[in-house]
C-alpha cells in the first residue's frame, strides 16, 4: 500500500512524516510529494496544514491542478483521506481567518475563531485535551473515550451536518475535533504529536 503525505508548503510537516513512518513500520510505503501523478496513484492521502486557513488554501491553489486532483481522489474516487489541523479545516466551504476564504467544500460548514468568552480562555488552545468520542469511527479503533490528544489552534470547524462529527473536546465550548464523512477523515488535534495514542490513530488510518 502507498500512502502519500501531500507536501504543498503548508509549514512544518517533519513530525507528520516521522510519525507516519513510525506507525507504518515498513509495511506501508509513505511518500511525501506534491507530484500529481503520485498523488493520483496513492491508496490514501494525508493532508496536513499549519498556519492560517488562507495561507494553506493559497498554498494548495499555487500548485497547478492540485485541488482538482484532491477532489478527484476524495470525492469522485472516494479513496481515504485524512486531514490534520488546517488540513481538516479546509474541508469546509468557508474560513474566516485573516479574510473570508473559500475552502474545499467537502463537508459543508465554516471555520471561525473560537469564542474565548472575552479572554476568559487563552488562545491558541494549546496543549493536551481529552476528546469525547461521539460516533464510532474506524480511526478510533482501540482508542478509549476521554483519551488525550495534543491541540494547537485558534479556529474551529463548525460543520452544518452534525452527523459528520466523530469527536469533540471541551474548551470554552464544545469544539469539533474530529470529523468523518464516508472516506474523508479529519482531526483538529495533531495525532503526530499525541504520543502513543496518536500513533495508534495513525495506524488505524493506515489499516483502513
Partner 1 sequence: MLKNRIIPCLDVKNGRVVKGINFIDLKDAGDPVEQAKIYSEGGADEICFLDITASNENRDTIYDVVERTSKKCFVPLTVGGGVRSIDDISKLLNSGADKVSINTAAVQNPKMIIESSKKFGSQCIVVAIDAKKNDNKWEVFTHGGRNNTSINAIDFAKKMEDSGAGELLVTSMDRDGTQIGYDNDLMFKISSTVNIPVIASGGVGNLDHLVDGIKLGNASAVLAASIFHYGTHSIKEAKQYLNSKGIPVRN
Residues binding partner 1 (CB under 8 A) = 11-12, 14-15, 18-19, 21-22, 50-52, 55, 116, 119, 122-130, 148, 150-154, 170-171, 192-196, 198-199
Of 31, 97, 192, 203, which one is the catalytic site residue? 192
C-beta of 33: minimal distance to partner 1 in Å?
16
Give every CB contact of residue 83 below 8 A, 6+ residues apart in sequence.
47, 49, 89, 90, 91, 184, 185, 186, 187
Closest CB to partner 1 among residues 184, 197: 197
Q: State which residue, 156 or 192, has the beta carbon closest to partner 1.
A: 192
Nearest Cα to 143, choosing from 207, 49, 50?
Answer: 207
The answer to whether residues 95 and 103 touch, using CB atoms and an 8 Å cutoff, is yes
Nearer to partner 1, 50 or 164 (CB): 50
Confirm whether 192 is a catalytic residue.
yes
Count the alpha carbons within 13 Å of 25 in the hemisphere toward its beta carbon.
7
Catalytic annotation, pick one of 85, 125, 156, 203: 85
Q: Which helix (H) or strand (E) holds 151?
A: strand 148-153
Measured CA to CA, the distance from residue 6 to residue 133 in angstroms comes to: 27
Active site residue 125: no
Instruction: Establish whether 156 is a catalytic residue.
Output: no
The catalytic site residues sit at 85, 190, 192
Amino acid at each position: 500500500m502507498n500512502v502519500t503525505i501531500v507536501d504543498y508548503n503548508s509549514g512544518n510537516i517533519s513530525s507528520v512524516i516521522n510519525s507516519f513512518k513510525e506507525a507504518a513500520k515498513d509495511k506501508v510505503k509513505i511518500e511525501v510529494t506534491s507530484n500529481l501523478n503520485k498523488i493520483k496513484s496513492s491508496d490514501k492521502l494525508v493532508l496536513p496544514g499549519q498556519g492560517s486557513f488562507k495561507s494553506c488554501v493559497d498554498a494548495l491553489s499555487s500548485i497547478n491542478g492540485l485541488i482538482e486532483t484532491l477532489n478527484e481522489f476524495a470525492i469522485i474516487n472516494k479513496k481515504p483521506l485524512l486531514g490534520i489541523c488546517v488540513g481538516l479545516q479546509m474541508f469546509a466551504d468557508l474560513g474566516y481567518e485573516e479574510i473570508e476564504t473559500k475552502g474545499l467544500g467537502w463537508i459543508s460548514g465554516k471555520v471561525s475563531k473560537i469564542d474565548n468568552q472575552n479572554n476568559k480562555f487563552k488562545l491558541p488552545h494549546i496543549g493536551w485535551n481529552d476528546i469525547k468520542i461521539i460516533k464510532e469511527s474506524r480511526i478510533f479503533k482501540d482508542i478509549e473515550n476521554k483519551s488525550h490528544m495534543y491541540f494547537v489552534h485558534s479556529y474551529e470547524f463548525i460543520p452544518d451536518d452534525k452527523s459528520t462529527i466523530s469527536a469533540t473536546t471541551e474548551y470554552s465550548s464544545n469544539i469539533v475535533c474530529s470529523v468523518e464523512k464516508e472516506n474523508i477523515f479529519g482531526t483538529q488535534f495533531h495525532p503526530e504529536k499525541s504520543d502513543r495514542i496518536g500513533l495508534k490513530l495513525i495506524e488505524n488510518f493506515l489499516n483502513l
